[in-house]
């Protein structure tokens, strides 16, 4: 459940994301799209930073999706020898599950930091929600 602009939205993570929505994913890259630095694979899924982007929301009113080239994420893992914590999405499309906007009127840093998980909602943070793969015990 998300509350955005005084409206409450209920999202069932176990529901599949419509194909039309995946085609509308916001594409972020270093050359265009404002991706800053290198995305990192984490226990929650992926974490990345981009230039301040108010279009990125957790839910608006459907789940927000972003597309990132997985080569960038794998490159960071190889460079620093870190093992992948969660499975990367095959298409590089990630569901936004957390956002932090930061900026300072007396500085030049205006960024959006995003936590995302793959479309099947795998990752430590994402497992707080039940999915269709969960078994009731």
**Residue range 115-134, pLDDT digits in tens:** 988 877 665 555 554 444 44
The candidate with the shortest Cα–Cα distance to 59, out of 125, 109, 116, is 116
pTM, two decimal places: 0.71
Average pLDDT of 98-107?
A: 88
Confidence of residue 23 (pLDDT cuts 50, 70, 90): confident
**Domain limits of the chain?**
2-127
Residue 36: pLDDT over 90: yes
Which residue in this structure is represented by tokens 């929301």? 57
* 32-67 per-residue burial string, b: 16 or more CB within 10 A, e: under 16: eeebeeebbbbebbbbbbbeebeebebbeeebbbbb
């Amino acid at each position: 459940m998300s509350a955005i602009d005084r409206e409450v939205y209920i999202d069932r993570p176990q529901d599949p994301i419509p194909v039309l929505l995946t085609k509308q994913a916001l594409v972020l890259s270093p050359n265009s799209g404002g991706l800053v630095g290198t995305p990192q694979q984490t226990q929650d899924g992926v974490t990345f930073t981009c230039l301040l982007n108010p279009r990125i929301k957790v839910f608006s009113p459907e789940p927000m999706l972003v597309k990132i080239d997985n080569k960038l994420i794998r490159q960071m893992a190889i460079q620093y020898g870190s093992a992948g914590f969660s499975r990367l999405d095959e298409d590089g499309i990630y569901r936004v599950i957390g956002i932090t906007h930061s900026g300072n009127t007396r500085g030049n840093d205006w960024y959006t930091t995003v936590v995302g998980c793959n479309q099947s909602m795998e990752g430590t943070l994402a497992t707080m929600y039940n999915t269709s793969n969960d078994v009731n015990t």
